[in-house]
Structure 1
Amino acid sequence: MGVAALCFRLLISVIVLQRAHGQEGNAVLQVVPNKLQFFEYDTVSFLCKGLDSSSEWKVVHNSRRKSLQCSNTRTPTTLTCTFKGIYKEESGEYWCEAGAKKRTNSVVITVTPGSVILESPALPVSEGKEVTLRCRNKMTSSSIFMTYFYKDGVLMHNSTTGNLIIHNVFKSDEGRYKCRISAAGESAENWLNVTAGSVILESPALPVSEGKEVTLRCRNKTTSSSIFTTYFYKDGVLMHNSTTGNLIIHNVFKSDEGRYKCRISAAGESAENWLNVTASGFKLGGPITHLSCGDAVPWIVSTILLTVLLCFSTCRHLHLDQTQQKKQQVVCGTSSI
């Protein structure tokens, strides 16, 4: 990740943490329409919801720290602040507050005098949902033009419809997005915030030995049902799908060791777990390696017994041959080890 991307993520984190302190539990700020970028002179509304009627709530802009000159509509639990023609200077961070201790989440919008904007959700989206990013050109109402979409500065998709649709968004899709329209220009960057979903992967916490059976379970906390289509990945590669939510490895080997995760359709994706497999120390027909004293004792005893049996068998056959030939008497002795 580049320095600019890291700084951007840190800035967003700091804003979220600052606004979380003293944030009113049920109150929330929404932007209408639900996007982060606007053309100058667009109509924009800031909607504060879940307010308590006993407090004097207002919408605040970070550069002004006072009530905004907008058209206000108030109900007992909501406050709407509408700009019927927003300017570039109105870009920045907004939130709702009442006094010094009651504050909602904050939203950062960008107002541009340019001709290209990227429309993306203003609020975080949950894993598993469908997200559409739209690249708009103010100079034309047509949606047929070559559009290029970038994530964290890298070209990831091009389109002739001006849209980028992420059908099942994951935490890994979180990042900085922008778009570019040929012969029209480039949008500012938006941060797509993805909240972790309800899916976890249950796997052994301790190392497992080769030859054992291992079961990986993909769980969805929003339902007790275990009947759903589940996809299992190892080291980022799809390896198995299941309708029971389980992946059973009957005889695990060292080669099965790696990073595992699972995905449930329309629910989301789990974080990655490391499956640790310990290699077996003894293999028949191969060299003896990694044996402790305790592991070596059974092997040594078996070797001695086999040697003694082989010695007795050889001596018996030799004795019979010599008796039949009646040449001489041979006494067979054994040596101790």
Structure 2
Amino acid sequence: MHEPDFVTIHLIVVEIFQSGTQRWTDRLSISSSKLIHRFLHCKCYKQNKNQFLSLPASVVVSPSKSQHFNYEKISVSCEQFGPGEWNVWRYTSLEKFMSQCGSGWGFPTLSACEIKTAKTPDSGVYWCESKNGDSSNGINITVTDGPVILQSPVLPVMEGDDVSLHCKTKTPPSNLTAAFYKNGSLIRTEPTGHMTIHHVSRSDEGLYKCHIGSHGESPSSWLFLRDNSAPASLTPSPNSAQLFEYKNLSLSCGHDRISRGWTVKRAVHIDGKLVLQSCPQQSITPDGCLFLTVKVPDSGIYWCESPAWQRSNSVKISVHGGPVILQSPVLPVMEGDDVSLHCKTKTPPSNLTAAFYKDGSLIRTEPTGHMTIHNVSTFDEGLYKCHIGGHEESPSSWLFVRDPRGSSTTHPTMSWLRLLCHLVVFCPYCISTVLMVSLYRHRSTAKTPPVSMVMAQLSEDDEGSDPQYDDV
């Protein structure tokens, strides 16, 4: 941590059962014979900035490789840190426009997308995104109609690991002699088509490909090492979902991101498609991008992205030429905060009486054009707009509310797991004292088993039976 910020850490337990159901909780329980997987996720955020320090989701591709032959089945799924609606998005290498699974490609399922017969135009960058703009990192998938692929890790690898590369043909045999290249230069030739990079380091990052004589060459794929720094966060200024035309919009990716190759990207509507664009060279700033005198065509989705397709959160900003806008936070607000909405006209005065609406229903009328939602909750999340008599109605914008517990299903009281977490972090002296007292008492009464043994023992009635779970 480089800044003296208060950080909150939440542990979320995810349990997956044979029936396919999932249980999200903050409690640990005894294993069940019907339990298939259990995951422990740690979510961190800065309390004073509403900024997440851990990615809310990760993207997983099956089969786990960066290159695929034509007509293979590819599944892209989202492993999120909390329940909610997550969707798979992509932008393709050929067309450079952004789209969601199910909009002309792929078959969406619960937090996943299946491409049953992938083809070359499906090559591109894929990621997971929630309705409020939280995002996973991206992965680059290449689909080729050629006879050779290079099987390499699709996700960044850990420094120090051994990394295997496999040069594979579409038809058997798949263990032919292959030459491996990095950044266009020959590394070496392997007789079985396999090459291992031992104790991988930053110097091994690069663009890899392979060649099998009489068959051909594979496409190229990037090998990246995992970046252990905190995820980037896009911060817009002003923090408003709506802007009038000819105002300035500043977007920051955070300290030192731009110097490390990050850039602000956006997807704007052109001919009914979300077309991918990068921050113009003349608009790049030390920490992001500055758009001067924005116009209606600048409306779109904005985010930060690294050369390795790491992604920040994304925000949807609308630019309007009309006489009225609703100034509301474009970033998700934290549950319990006070949220201000301002119905504003393009020309003075800007404190006229305004009616505020949520999801099409009137909330109330405010004489100064300002409305405050006190102690905001997830029930306040929705689509807001306003109307000033004698002028016009503003466009609608979403207000997103972030639950600090990670999900609305988490138990509202602090569980023993959270209490233990606080004790471990903040009270090591207390824990050591308790252990010393326990040890002393154990020596005094040798016939009495220690507390830890009593907690771990199961009665005969409990053995062989599935545990009872608390409702979440």
TM-score class normalised by the smaller sequence: 0.5 to 0.7
Q: Is the 8 A contact 2:250 2:290 kept in 1?
A: yes
Structure 2 residue runs without a partner (length 5+): 1-84, 90-99, 101-127, 139-226, 269-274, 423-469
Q: Structure 2: which amino acid aligns with 1:38?
A: L
Q: Is the 8 A contact 2:355 2:364 kept in 1?
A: yes
Partner of 2:216: none
Partner of 1:193: 400
Structure 1 residue runs without a partner (length 5+): 1-8, 204-216, 225-272, 276-337
Partner of 2:254: 49
Equivalent of 2:363, from 148, 156, 159? 156
Equivalent of 2:135, from 9, 20, 24? 20
Comparing both structures, which one devotes a greater share of its residues to helix?
1
Equivalent of 1:102, from 310, 328, 345? 310
Relative to structure 1, is the Cα distance of residues 53 and 165 closer, same or farther in structure 2, using a 3 angstrom cutoff? closer
Q: Structure 2: which amino acid aligns with 1:16?
A: E
Q: Structure 2: which amino acid aligns with 1:175?
A: G
| SS at 1:65 equivalent | strand
Q: Is the 8 A contact 2:333 2:401 kept in 1?
A: yes
Partner of 2:93: none
Relative to structure 1, is the Cα distance of residues 109 and 53 closer, same or farther in structure 2, using a 3 angstrom cutoff? closer
The yes-or-no answer on 1:116 pairing with 2:324 is yes
Comparing both structures, which one devotes a greater share of its residues to strand?
2
Relative to structure 1, is the Cα distance of residues 274 and 178 closer, same or farther in structure 2, using a 3 angstrom cutoff? farther
Q: Superposition pairs for residues 204-243 of structure 1, below 5 Å?
A: 218-219=413-414
Q: Structure 2: which amino acid aligns with 1:105?
A: N
Relative to structure 1, is the Cα distance of residues 19 and 132 closer, same or farther in structure 2, using a 3 angstrom cutoff? closer
2: CA distance, partners of 1:274 / 1:161: 46
Q: Superposition pairs for residues 272-283 of structure 1, below 5 Å?
A: none
Determine what percentage of the aligned residue pairs are the same residue.
Answer: 35
Q: Structure 2: which amino acid aligns with 1:80?
A: G
The yes-or-no answer on 1:147 pairing with 2:354 is yes
Relative to structure 1, is the Cα distance of residues 104 and 140 closer, same or farther in structure 2, using a 3 angstrom cutoff? same
2: CA distance, partners of 1:108 / 1:187: 16
The yes-or-no answer on 1:36 pairing with 2:238 is no
Q: Structure 2: which amino acid aligns with 1:124?
A: P
Pairwise CA distance, 1:51:
5.1
Partner of 2:291: 83
1: CA distance, partners of 2:330 / 2:384: 13
- Across the aligned residues of Structure 1 and Structure 2, the Cα RMSD in angstroms comes to 3.5
Partner of 1:171: 378
Pairwise CA distance, 1:12:
12
Equivalent of 2:284, from 44, 69, 72? 72
Q: Structure 2: which amino acid aligns with 1:147?
A: A
Q: Structure 1: which amino acid aligns with 2:383?
A: R
Q: Structure 2: which amino acid aligns with 1:73?
A: T
Partner of 2:426: none
User: Runs in 1 of length 4+ with deviation above 4 angstroms?
Assistant: 9-15, 50-54, 198-203, 217-224
Deviation digits for residues 265-320 of structure 1, max 9, x if unmatched? xxxxxxxx999xxxxxxxxxxxxxxxxxxxxxxxxxxxxxxxxxxxxxxxxxxxxx
Q: Is the 8 A contact 2:344 2:350 kept in 1?
A: no
Q: Is the 8 A contact 2:263 2:288 kept in 1?
A: no
Equivalent of 2:339, from 127, 131, 147? 131
Pairwise CA distance, 1:201:
9.9
1: CA distance, partners of 2:88 / 2:392: 26
* Number of equivalenced pairs: 202
Pairwise CA distance, 1:53:
6.6
Deviation digits for residues 56-115 of structure 1, max 9, x if unmatched? 1111111342322353221xxxx2311220010000101111225211111110000001
Q: Is the 8 A contact 1:59 1:95 kept in 2?
A: yes
Relative to structure 1, is the Cα distance of residues 81 and 52 closer, same or farther in structure 2, using a 3 angstrom cutoff? closer
1: CA distance, partners of 2:234 / 2:295: 20
Q: Structure 1: which amino acid aligns with 2:262?
A: W
| SS at 2:297 equivalent | helix
Pairwise CA distance, 1:54:
6.5
| SS at 1:109 equivalent | strand
2: CA distance, partners of 1:119 / 1:177: 10
Pairwise CA distance, 1:11:
8.5
Partner of 2:431: none
Q: Is the 8 A contact 1:41 1:85 kept in 2?
A: yes
Larger radius of gyration: 1
| SS at 1:89 equivalent | helix
Q: Structure 2: which amino acid aligns with 1:88?
A: V
Q: Is the 8 A contact 2:326 2:343 kept in 1?
A: yes
2: CA distance, partners of 1:90 / 1:130: 29
Give the TM-score taking structure 2 as reference length.
0.38
| SS at 1:172 equivalent | helix
Relative to structure 1, is the Cα distance of residues 219 and 65 closer, same or farther in structure 2, using a 3 angstrom cutoff? same
Give the TM-score taking structure 1 as reference length.
0.52
Q: Structure 1: which amino acid aligns with 2:285?
A: T
Q: Superposition pairs for residues 53-64 of structure 1, below 5 Å?
A: 55-63=260-268, 64=275
Q: Is the 8 A contact 1:27 1:50 kept in 2?
A: no
